[in-house]
């Protein structure tokens, strides 16, 4: 019976996810978000869906090889994104990608694939909340790399935020 309850919950989460996707893609450009910039909504939705990746991934890899599970996930993501690209009429823009931007998109793809391979390895053996917390240390690494390579400024607010994220990740990943 617990399996049916889990399936029902996942079905509900999936329906909610699709509703968010549809709403954001279709209506976000026409709604007046005076109370916050649209990028904040997108970032929050990204965080919600990233949390679902951890939950669905942990359930999905229970009895599977993590490399194969990651590969299947990547194929599904590629197919889904291709459908979204078609739906939004963006496919002709493929001709605009070349040279240096293409190189960095390729590098981002390889980095993302490596990230997800290690993420699923960690999920297979670790506590979901601890793995997700340590994975979010990417925020701290982004800050460091942005300062080193993108000439972004390190402020006291961003440094304090990085320290708090690091402390939170450590606290959430300590075995009980």
Tens of pLDDT along 19-29? 666 666 665 55
Kindly state the average pLDDT of the residues 63-68: 89
pTM of the model: 0.72
Kindly state the average pLDDT of the residues 81-96: 91
Kindly state the average pLDDT of the residues 21-41: 66
The domain segmentation of the chain, as residue ranges, is 2-135
> Using an 8 Å Cβ cutoff, are 88 and 25 in contact?
yes
Q: What angle do CA 73, 79, 85 make, to 5 degrees?
A: 130
Position 11 scores a pLDDT of: 58
């Amino acid at each position: 019976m617990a399996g049916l309850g889990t399936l029902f919950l996942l079905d509900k989460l999936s329906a909610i996810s699709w509703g968010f996707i549809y709403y954001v893609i279709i209506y976000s450009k026409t709604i007046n978000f005076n109370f916050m910039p649209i990028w904040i909504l997108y970032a929050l939705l990204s965080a919600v869906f990233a949390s679902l990746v951890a939950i669905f991934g942990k359930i999905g890899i229970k009895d599977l090889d993590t490399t194969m599970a990651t590969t299947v996930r990547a194929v599904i993501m590629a197919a889904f994104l291709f459908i979204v690209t078609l739906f939004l009429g963006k496919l002709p823009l493929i001709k605009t990608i070349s040279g240096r931007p293409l190189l960095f998109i390729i590098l981002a793809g390889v980095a993302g694939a490596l990230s997800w391979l290690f993420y699923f390895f960690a999920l297979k053996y670790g506590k979901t909340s601890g793995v997700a917390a340590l994975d979010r240390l990417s925020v701290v690494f982004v800050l460091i790399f942005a300062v080193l390579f993108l000439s972004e400024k390190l402020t006291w607010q961003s440094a304090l935020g990085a320290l708090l994220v690091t402390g939170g990740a450590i606290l959430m990943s300590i075995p009980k």
